[in-house]
Structures are given as C-alpha cells and as structure tokens.
Amino acid sequence: MSATSKQSAMTADDIRARKGNQPIVSLTAYTTPMARLMDRHCDFVLVGDSLGMVMHGLPSTLGVTMEMMILHGQAVSRGLDHAMLVIDMPFGSYEEGPQQAFRNAARLMAETGAAAVKLEGGVEMAETIRFLVARGIPVMAHIGLTPQSVNTLGGYKVQGRDEQGDLVLADAQAVADAGAFSVVLEKVPQRLADQITAEVSIPTIGIGASAGCDGQILVVDDMLGFFTAFKAKFVKRYADLGDSAEAAIAEYAAEVRAREFPAAEHVFGDQAPKQSTKK
C-alpha cells in the first residue's frame, strides 16, 4: 500500500465543517463488497473493531489485533472512492502513551490509506489526541460506552445517567479541546447527547444517543440483520438479510441432496457451442 492517505471526497476538515449542518451518515464496513455498496451513501466509513465480534466470532472487541484492523482496513479501502475511511485503533495499541499511539496510528494510516483513526476515551486520552493531531493524524474520539473498557464499566451499560452526565460532558469537552475533529457518543441518554451536541464545537456522531446529534453510525451487520447473536435497543433493522441468506442456503442444500442442482443449464457438454456466423 502507498504510504500516503487515499484521496476521497470527504476529509476530516469536511466532517468538522458539518457541525450543525446536514447530518453526517456513517456505517461500519469490513469487506470490499460492502464498502462499495455504501460508498456513495456515507460521508465516512468506519472499519470498527466490532469486526472481532461480527466477522471473527470473538466475545468482545478486546481480542482484536493491529493485523486484523490493517487487513480489513485494506479491504475496505479498495471499495471506497467517495466516503472517508476511518479505522479504529484496537485495544492495547494506544493506551500506553502518546508515542505508542503515534507509532500504531501512523502504521494504520500508512498501510491502509485511512484518512483518520478513532480511539476510545475522554479526559484520560486528551494528551494522546493532542499529540497525534499535532503530528498530522486526524482523530475521531469515542466516549460514553467505550466497548474496550467493558470490564471496568461493568458491562454494556448506558453511560452518563444522573451525576455521571457531568463526567461524560467533561470527556466531550476534553477531546474537542485536544483537537479531535468529531466525537462518537455511544449509549448515552438523549438529553445528555443533545447537551453535548449543543455545547461542544465538533460534530457528535450518535450510536444509541439522539437524533439531535450531528450524525449517526451503526454496525452494518446489525442494521442489515446479518448479526443475530443479540440486538441492541438502539439498532434498527432495515433488512433481515440473515434470514434470507439462511433460507437460500437451506434451499441450495436441499437441491444438492435431491440431485436437482446442478441442472442442465449449469453444466458443460463435450462439444463447445457453435458460434453464429450471421452478421
């Protein structure tokens, strides 16, 4: 892969400029075909570390590696011409300190052509975000429910209820002040999401937050009905392709066992078909 970022219609500055304007549209993607389907409809496409659960059957995102993110990032990059490519930094690749974060973020961008990285954390990650931005790496922040911290958060709970709301607001202000160009708000109360959107200078991207956020993101396998292990409250299923795919597979299996497939039109004869000589 080229050491330079892939050129796209959208940039981090474009996303930042959408604050308070037309809502920002985003989905996750992990493969080239899916990226091609969403390229003209999304402003940015995220290669999320959710790929550990969605694509690899892991129980959480904690087992995702840099190599996995790079592999799927390269695949998604091949399918994008218009949407901006953002890639998650996996657990353990940035928490140690700014220098570690820079090395791994630079590697992600160099080997995939991504235009930005996303990392989880608020106040405690502000120094790292500032370090990365100062060195040319656009950062999308992620606060509220941060799945990489599931063990310390006590599960996949709503974040920011009651007095915790001030802490989430402080996180949002910290990442904005540090130079993040946008911030994902995951699984926070609607009123808090609206407050953060009104008070911070960068776009908010909601997932289980509020329609008042500056944009929205969903895991594509959730909204298409491919991932069926569980369904979060904030997910709307726009299709049930998992059920359709299983039905198609069952029909194929039945036809193979009944020797109905392949049929005559799917096999080859001993003689090549004659070519027409008519003009």
User: How many angstroms separate the CA atoms of 142 and 120, rounded?
Assistant: 5
Q: How far is residue 52's CA from residue 60's CA, in Å, rounded to a whole number? A: 7
The structural domains of the chain, ordered by start, are 12-225 (3.20.20.60), 236-266 (no CATH)
Residues of the chain with pLDDT > 70, as a percent, come to 96
Tell me what pLDDT residue 33 has.
98
Rounded to 5 degrees, what are φ and ψ at 183? -145, 130
Q: What is the C-alpha separation between 71 and 111, in angstroms, rounded?
A: 9
Q: Is the Cβ–Cβ distance between 168 and 120 less than 8 Å? A: no
Q: Amino acid identity of 160?
A: G
Task: Write out the catalytic residue numbers.
Answer: 186
Q: Tens-digit pLDDT profile for the chain (279 aa)?
A: 444 455 557 999 999 999 999 999 999 999 999 999 999 999 999 999 999 999 999 999 999 999 999 999 999 999 999 999 999 999 999 999 999 999 999 999 999 999 999 999 999 999 999 999 999 999 999 999 999 988 787 778 899 998 899 999 999 999 999 999 999 999 999 999 999 999 999 999 999 999 999 999 999 999 999 998 888 899 999 999 999 999 999 999 999 999 999 999 999 998 888 887 666
**Whole-number Å distance between alpha carbons of 30 and 76:** 6
Phi, psi of 73 (to 5 degrees): -60, -40
Binding-site entries for Mg(2+): 49, 88, 120
User: SS3 for 181?
Assistant: coil
Which residues are known binding-site members for 3-methyl-2-oxobutanoate?
Answer: 49-50, 88, 118
Q: Which residues are annotated as a binding site?
A: 49-50, 88, 118, 120
pLDDT score recorded for residue 2: 44
What six digits make up the tokens of 165?
């709301």
pLDDT of residue 1: 42
Cis check: omega of the bond before 262, within 30 degrees of 0: yes
Nearest CA to 190 out of 216, 149, 163, 161 is that of 161
Residue 51 CA to residue 41 CA, distance in Å, equals 21
Helix (H) or strand (E) holding 15: helix 12-17
